[in-house]
Amino acid sequence: MRDDVQRWIALTYPNSQKTRAALTQMAKAKQKILLNAADAINARSYAIESNRAYLCLSFVRRQIKGLSGKDSYNISGEMRALYLNTYARSKAALQHSQHLSGQFFSLPPDKSTGCDFNPDAMPN
């Protein structure tokens, strides 16, 4: 995970271990997408991993404060801005997106299944 993203997570959400864990999961998934943008064969699995991370973030934000989906959408947008802050990164994200053209993704009804960690084991 990039240092600037790691710092942003720690400084923006110092009081929520669950949010930091969900954002770390999301950051790792986004980094994988950018580093493997040319990999058309595995593009779908990278996208699924990123979608799972978003579901996890949505779950923990609702669990913490009962916040709406808009909260996790806004946070995700802030992180996206960090990740796509150069031409090369934006180009890589576009390349990855092109590999997914025409594909359908179904999401599990239980958002907690997106977490790679146990949110219930964390205090906040």
pLDDT band at 15 (very low <50, low <70, confident <90, very high): very high
pTM value is 0.86
Q: Which two tokens stand for residue 77?
A: 């947008």
pLDDT in tens, 94-104: 999 999 887 77
- Position 68 scores a pLDDT of 65
- Domain edges within the chain: 3-101
Is 101 buried (19+), middle (13-18) or exposed (0-12) by CB count in 10 A?
A: exposed
